[in-house]
């Protein structure tokens, strides 16, 4: 036993420095492809950097211009916030709703799960963006369907008030990935809790708000943060479906960054904008983390 | 039958109806796209039916030829050339790094792992311009190296995180007894960890495949010559180059571009759905 312990200890010491060898690829990759670009973009954001000419330092000008002189910037910022507010809660609520139904111990659950998950695999592709653009165009299939039902056609992508919502639908259509996470979470809720509630005569609504929802909050929280980050940087949908229109109502942040950096080659300015995006995402994430003790219930970290 | 039982049966029945209708709504766009690829241009605009009145195969033959000098065969080959090495190197590098974090003690480990997690939250948009400049200086623009080389250096930190979580779940006693038997740490990785990690490794490969396959923004930035276009760029081109879009061709090529991810999904969906559930992965 003693010798085994000694061996173990020497084993630990021996393999100690080896750890660095295994993580070496990541250290190099992190320094070259993540940390350096991260710092460089911060530096660029104080310059008028462009591939076309030598760069010079412009101080805070990019930031000042963005917030005071660039009308499109505010337009894009507000469109992006609206989009996040439509797409993320919509997707998560729908995913939760369907997960609860699927959790009712029905048969063929695997079949439904597969069908609902499929759009999550394909949704990010150009093919689906093209499809969406066609389905919801003025003389697209959705309107043909509405006409058959006697409903007048709707200009889904041409109406500035509807276009963002139509793009949000594409996100909600991909609810399957979140649903699978919620379903796994629901399975992990101990059934004693429900039995106890039944004995106490709690109604369904009470059970949902007092047991199901609190037990799921860590998963909801994780999903919320990840989906929010994704929605804030959405590029494919505005670029391919609406080209930012109509009236720039779908000119989302990701598309604005791309155009400034790679179409207008204003890379210093785009870097400043990307830093504001970074700060916004950090603020939202921090807010979610900070508020989570109030609404997140962790099994191993209760307060009693 | 008691009243409660009837009520319960009704509820189950209603649930099935609802789930089925929802399922139809979910797959209807995909089925419609498939049927549209066989329809005439006129019918595409006039009917929502899933069964074409007249079946034409011109969508596929015409679409495959493309409008320029390259066929879709070229674009398929290009996409595989970009995606497969990236997936392979992602798996190898993430596995090595995850093993290092999960099984070894070293200084600053906590700090370094915190950096892995922090880079998860870093939106790629923030680093995209300097990265572009970097690859420009390396002479890598208009090649697949901007995708492949970072994969070799484990820059997709999400997969490191996922594999670390999985390896932590493997009992340490297994490695320790192998060590006492004289196994090197690398042999422990290849002979003990890798076989036990198989489900996680497969999920990493599948997710990376699908994400790279669907990627549009990065190819748009890095690839400029049509000869090297990936499928997503080629599809965009069919929309923007021609004045009058021949929709059945666009739909046909869109359908074909989805075939590899769909096949992969159906053959590995056990890993997909469970991999998501056990690792808390986004989709």
Give the pLDDT of residue B68.
Answer: 75
Could A131 and B129 be called an inter-chain contact, meaning their C-beta atoms sit closer than 8 Å? Answer: no
Interface test with B, best of A8, A19, A220 (most B CBs within 10 A): A19
Contacts of A29 in chain B (CB under 8 A): 93, 150, 152-155
Q: What gap in Å lies between CA A26 and CA B153, rounded to an integer?
A: 5
Of A28, A36, A115, the CB nearest to B23: A115
* Lowest mean pLDDT across A135-144, A189-198, A204-213, B270-279: B270-279
Asked if B117 and B161 count as a contact pair (C-beta separation under 8 A), the reply is: yes
Under 8 Å between Cβ of B271 and B199: yes
> Across the interface, do B282 and A226 touch by the CB < 8 Å criterion?
yes
Cα torsion for A88, A89, A91, A92, to the nearest 10°? 110
| pLDDT, position B275 | 57
Query: Which of A177, A174, A170, A172 lies closest to A156, judged by CA?
Result: A170
In this prediction the pTM is 0.88
Strand pairing partners for A47?
A57
A250 Cβ contact partners less than 8 Å away, ≥ 6 residues apart: A79, A83, A163, A164, A167, A237, A238, A241, A242, A244
What is the DSSP-derived secondary structure letter of residue B228?
G
Instruction: Categorize the per-residue pLDDT at A296 as very low, low, confident or very high, splitting at 50, 70 and 90.
Output: low
Is residue A23's pLDDT more than 50?
yes
Q: Out of A69-78, A110-119, A122-131, B43-52, which region has the weakest mean confidence (pLDDT)?
A: B43-52
For the domain A70-295, what is the CATH code? Answer: 1.10.3720.10
Higher pLDDT among residues B175 and A301, named by residue: B175
Q: What is the per-residue pLDDT across B64-107, written as a single tens digit (0 to 9) for each?
A: 887 778 899 999 999 999 999 999 999 999 999 999 999 888 88
Tokens of B37: 């690829």
For A195, phi then psi, to 5°, come to: -65, -45
Residue B131: the pLDDT is 94
Distance of residue A133 Cα from the nearest chain B Cα, in angstroms: 11
Mean pLDDT across chain A: 85
Residue from the list A26, A36, A222 with its beta carbon closest to the beta carbon of B154: A26
| Mean pLDDT computed over A82-103 | 92
CA–CA dist B187, B181 (Å, integer):
11
Phi and psi (nearest 5°) for B168? -60, -30
Tell me the Ramachandran region of residue A247: left when phi exceeds 0, alpha when psi lies from -120 to 50, beta otherwise. left
Please tell me the predicted confidence (pLDDT) of residue A174.
92
Residue A273 or residue A10, greater confidence: A273
**What is the SS3 assignment for A53?**
strand
With an 8 Å Cβ cutoff, is B46 touching chain A? yes
pLDDT-based confidence at residue A301 (cuts at 50, 70, 90): very low
What average pLDDT does chain B have? 87
Phi/psi of residue A54, each to 5°?
-65, 145
Backbone angles phi, psi at B169, to 5 degrees: -80, -10
The answer, yes or no, to whether residue A15 has pLDDT greater than 80, is: no
Beta bridge pairs of residue A53: A50
Position B243 confidence tier, pLDDT thresholds 50, 70, 90? low
Torsion angle of C-alpha atoms B20, B22, B24, B26, degrees rounded to 10: -140
Query: CA–CA separation, A55 vs A293, rounded Å?
Result: 46
Cα–Cα distances in angstroms (integers) from residue B157 to residues A15, A162, B11, B162, B205, in the given order? 24, 37, 45, 9, 14
Predicted confidence at residue A14, as pLDDT, reads: 47
**Which ranges of A45-152 would DSSP assign to H, the alpha helix?**
61-68, 71-102, 109-122, 126-135, 141-148
In angstroms and rounded to an integer, the radius of gyration of the C-alpha atoms of chain A is: 25
The half-sphere exposure of A54 on its side-chain side, counting CA atoms within 13 A, is 0
**Cβ pair B277:A184 closer than 8 A:** yes
Higher-pLDDT residue of A155 and B80 is B80
Q: Which of A178, A256, A158 is nearest to A221 (CA)?
A: A178
Which one, of A94, A119, A60, A96, lies nearest residue A276 by Cα?
Answer: A60
DSSP string, A235-254: -HIIIIIITT-STTTT--HH
The lowest-confidence range among A49-53, B134-138, B257-261 is A49-53
Q: Which of B112, B126, B185 sits opposite A274 (nearest CB)?
A: B126
Distance between CA atoms of residues A131 and B259, nearest Å: 15
């Amino acid at each position: 036993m003693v010798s085994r312990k000694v061996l173990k200890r020497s084993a630990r010491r021996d393999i100690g420095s080896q750890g660095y060898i295994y993580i070496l690829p990541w250290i190099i990759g992190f320094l070259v492809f993540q940390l350096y670009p991260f710092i460089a973009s911060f530096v660029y954001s104080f310059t008028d950097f462009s591939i076309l000419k030598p760069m010079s330092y412009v101080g805070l000008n990019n930031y000042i211009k963005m917030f005071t002189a660039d009308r499109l910037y505010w337009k894009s910022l507000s469109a992006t916030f609206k989009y996040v507010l439509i797409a993320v809660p919509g997707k998560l609520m729908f995913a939760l709703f369907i997960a609860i139904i699927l959790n009712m111990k029905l048969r063929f659950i695997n079949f439904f799960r597969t069908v609902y998950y499929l759009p999550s695999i394909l949704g990010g592709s150009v093919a689906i963006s093209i499809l969406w653009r066609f389905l919801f165009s003025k003389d697209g299939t959705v309107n043909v369907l509405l006409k058959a039902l006697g409903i007048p056609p709707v200009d889904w992508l041409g109406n500035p008030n509807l276009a963002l919502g139509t793009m949000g639908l594409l996100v909600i259509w991909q609810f399957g990935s979140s649903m699978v996470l919620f379903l796994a979470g629901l399975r992990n809720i101990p059934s004693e809790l429900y039995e106890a509630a039944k004995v106490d005569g709690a109604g369904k609504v009470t059970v949902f708000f007092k047991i199901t929802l609190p037990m799921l909050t860590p998963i909801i929280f994780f999903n919320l943060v990840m989906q929010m980050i994704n929605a804030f940087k959405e590029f494919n949908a505005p670029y391919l479906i609406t080209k930012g229109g109509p009236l720039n109502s779908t000119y989302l942040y990701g598309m604005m960054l791309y155009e400034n950096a790679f179409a207008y080659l204003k890379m210093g300015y785009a870097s400043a904008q990307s830093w504001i995006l970074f700060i916004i995402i950090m603020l939202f994430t921090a807010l979610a983390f900070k508020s989570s003790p109030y609404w997140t219930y962790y099994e191993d970290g209760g307060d009693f | 039958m008691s009243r409660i039982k009837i009520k319960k049966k009704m509820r189950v029945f209603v649930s099935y109806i609802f789930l089925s209708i929802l399922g139809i709504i979910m797959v209807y766009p995909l089925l419609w796209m498939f049927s549209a690829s066989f329809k005439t241009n006129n019918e595409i605009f006039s009917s929502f039916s899933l069964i074409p009145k007249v079946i034409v195969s011109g969508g596929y033959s015409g679409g495959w030829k493309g409008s320029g000098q390259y066929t879709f065969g070229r674009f398929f080959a290009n996409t595989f050339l970009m995606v497969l090495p990236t997936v392979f190197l992602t798996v190898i590098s993430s596995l090595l790094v995850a093993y290092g974090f999960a099984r070894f003690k070293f200084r600053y480990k906590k700090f370094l792992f915190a950096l892995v997690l922090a880079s998860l939250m870093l939106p790629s948009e923030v680093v995209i311009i300097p990265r572009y400049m970097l690859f420009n200086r390396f002479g890598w623009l208009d090649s697949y190296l901007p995708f492949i080389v970072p994969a070799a250096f484990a820059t997709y930190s999400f997969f490191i995180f996922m594999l670390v979580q999985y390896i932590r779940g493997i009992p340490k006693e297994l490695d320790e007894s192998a060590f006492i038997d004289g196994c090197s740490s690398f042999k422990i990785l290849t002979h003990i960890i890798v076989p036990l990690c198989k489900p996680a490794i497969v999920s990493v490969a599948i997710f990376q495949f699908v994400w790279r396959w669907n990627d549009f923004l990065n190819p748009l930035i890095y690839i400029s010559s049509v000869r090297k276009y990936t499928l997503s760029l080629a599809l965009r081109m069919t929309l923007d180059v021609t004045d009058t879009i021949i929709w059945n061709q666009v739909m046909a090529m869109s359908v074909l571009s989805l075939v590899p991810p769909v096949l992969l999904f159906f053959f590995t969906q056990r890993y997909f759905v469970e991999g998501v559930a056990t690792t808390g992965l986004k989709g």
